[in-house]
Amino acid sequence: MPHISIKMLAGRSEEQKKKAAEAVKNALAESLGMSDHYITATVEDFSPEEWQTVFKEEITDKPDKVYVKPQYDPKSLL
C-alpha cells in the first residue's frame, strides 16, 4: 500500500525507469504525508501497437479513475 504502476512505450533505459519510479514514489510519499517505506512501484514497457490496448483498458474504459487526462490520441503513436 500504495502501489504505483508506470506503463509506457518501450525505449527508456533501466536507469531512466528506476529514476522515474523513484521520483514518483517520493512525490507520492510527500503528497500523502507518509513514509516511502510502504510504497512499491513497477514499470512496464509496451510497443505502440500494444499501447493501443493498454490505453483502451486503462484510460478509455475507466474515465472515473483517470485523474490526469490524456492530451493526445494514442493512434498518433502508430
pLDDT digits (tens, 9 = 90+) for 20-78: 999 999 999 999 999 999 999 999 999 999 999 999 999 999 999 999 999 999 999 99
Please tell me the distance from the alpha carbon of residue 24 to that of residue 73, in angstroms, as a whole number: 24
| Domain annotation for the chain: domains and CATH numbers | 1-46 (3.30.429.10), 48-78 (no CATH)
The per-residue pLDDT for 38 is 95
**Under 8 Å CB-to-CB from 74, ≥6 apart: which residues?**
51, 52, 55
Q: What is the pLDDT of residue 58?
A: 97
The pLDDT score that the predictor gives to residue 74 is: 98
- CA distances 27 to 11, 21, 57, 58, Å, are 24, 10, 26, 22
Which triple of cell numbers denotes residue 30? Answer: 510527500
Which residue type is seen at 58? E
Torsion angle (degrees, nearest 10) of CA 20, 25, 31, 32 = 160
